[in-house]
């Protein structure tokens, strides 16, 4: 017989969600600006600096989600061997991951992000410098993105493309935008989504 009582992960879902949404905001306000300041010592073009940071955020979420999926598969395979309840196997797996998030190989994800950024055609970097200089930002984004996958439903960032139509519900315009322009020139920070709803607006630059 399977008990209907939710697992610990589900019981703590609301409080963990609130903490992670707040942490995402803190990264935008602190680590992002620190990374911006650091990059400006090497790159004079502010647009390139902001593009680098945005791509770092996108790649961090991608790497953390991949790592989470692989981690979850390994945990499910291990726990299924001796699972008997009372919780469902899925709830037991989720509880285990929430309790053992320190087993997440965040450095592996950071390395993956830097590899992806090195081959991204939209961003360039002086050859004597490596994207590792913003590894603090990348690490914090990977951590929060991984933890967001343990929520029900999980949180993710919105998909953004240069030239997309500006959306008031999805983005703030940066202060140096053309406020009459209808199209996004480039992204500064991604919007945070739950299912298809925006819960934290991103930031973009709009230009004619």
Indicate the angle between helix axes 106-118 and 135-148, nearest 10 degrees. Answer: 120
Of the two residues 4 and 63, the one the predictor is more confident about is 63
Peptide bond into 79 cis (omega under 30): no
Residues 67 and 107 in one domain: yes
Indicate the angle between helix axes 135-148 and 31-40, nearest 10 degrees. Answer: 150
Other CB atoms within 10 Å distance of the CB of residue 22: 11
Residues 70 and 169 in one domain: no
Considering the domain boundaries, does residue 177 fall inside one? yes
The count of structural domains within the chain is 2
Of the two residues 138 and 96, the one the predictor is more confident about is 138
Contact predicate 138/110, CB 8 Å: yes
* Region 99-107 average pLDDT: 90
Name beta bridge partners: 165: 183
Residues 48 and 119 in one domain: yes
Indicate the angle between helix axes 135-148 and 46-80, nearest 10 degrees. Answer: 40
Residues 36 and 68 in one domain: yes
Any idea of the CA torsion for 191, 118, 185, 62, to the nearest 10 degrees? Answer: -20
Residues 131 and 57 in one domain: yes
Residues 63 and 163 in one domain: no
* Region 99-113 average pLDDT: 93
Contact predicate 114/135, CB 8 Å: yes
Residues 169 and 136 in one domain: no
Residues 149 and 168 in one domain: no
Indicate the SS3 state at residue 23.
helix
Considering the domain boundaries, does residue 93 fall inside one? no
Considering the domain boundaries, does residue 187 fall inside one? yes
Considering the domain boundaries, does residue 128 fall inside one? yes
Residues 135 and 180 in one domain: no
Considering the domain boundaries, does residue 194 fall inside one? yes
The reported pLDDT for the residue numbered 6 is 52
Which of 1-10, 15-24, 45-54 is least confident?
Answer: 1-10
Considering the domain boundaries, does residue 147 fall inside one? yes
* Region 27-51 average pLDDT: 96
Residues 61 and 123 in one domain: yes
- The Cα–Cα gap between 40 and 66 comes to 31
Indicate the SS3 state at residue 207.
coil
Residues 25 and 110 in one domain: yes
Considering the domain boundaries, does residue 85 fall inside one? no
Of the two residues 125 and 56, the one the predictor is more confident about is 56
Under the banding of pLDDT at 50, 70 and 90, the label for residue 7 is low
Considering the domain boundaries, does residue 87 fall inside one? no
Contact predicate 181/13, CB 8 Å: no
Which of 154, 174, 197 is where one domain is finished?
154
Residues 22 and 112 in one domain: yes
Q: What is the span of the domain harbouring residue 190?
A: 158-207
The pTM of the full predicted model, rounded to 2 decimals, is 0.90
- The Cα–Cα gap between 208 and 179 comes to 9
pLDDT tens for each residue of 146-163: 999 999 999 999 999 999
pLDDT above 50 (res 182): yes
Residue 130 in tokens: 């490596």
């Amino acid at each position: 017989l399977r008990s209907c009582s939710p697992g610990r992960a589900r019981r703590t879902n609301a409080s963990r969600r609130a903490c992670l949404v707040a942490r995402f905001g803190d990264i935008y306000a602190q680590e992002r600006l620190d990374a911006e300041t650091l990059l400006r010592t090497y790159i004079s073009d502010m647009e390139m600096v902001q593009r680098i940071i945005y791509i770092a955020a996108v790649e961090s979420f991608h790497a953390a989600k991949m790592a989470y999926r692989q981690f979850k598969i390994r945990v499910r395979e291990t726990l299924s061997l001796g699972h008997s309840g009372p919780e469902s196997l899925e709830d037991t797996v989720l509880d285990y991951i929430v309790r053992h998030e320190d087993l997440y190989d965040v450095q592996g994800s950071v390395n993956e992000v830097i590899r992806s950024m090195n081959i991204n055609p939209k961003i360039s970097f002086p050859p004597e410098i490596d994207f590792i200089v913003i590894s603090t930002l990348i690490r914090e984004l990977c951590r929060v993105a991984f933890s967001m996958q343990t929520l029900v439903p999980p949180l993710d960032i919105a998909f953004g493309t240069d030239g997309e139509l500006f959306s008031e519900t999805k983005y703030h315009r940066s202060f140096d935008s053309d406020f009459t322009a209808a199209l996004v020139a480039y992204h500064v920070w991604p919007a945070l989504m739950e299912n298809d709803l925006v819960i934290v607006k991103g930031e973009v630059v709009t230009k004619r």
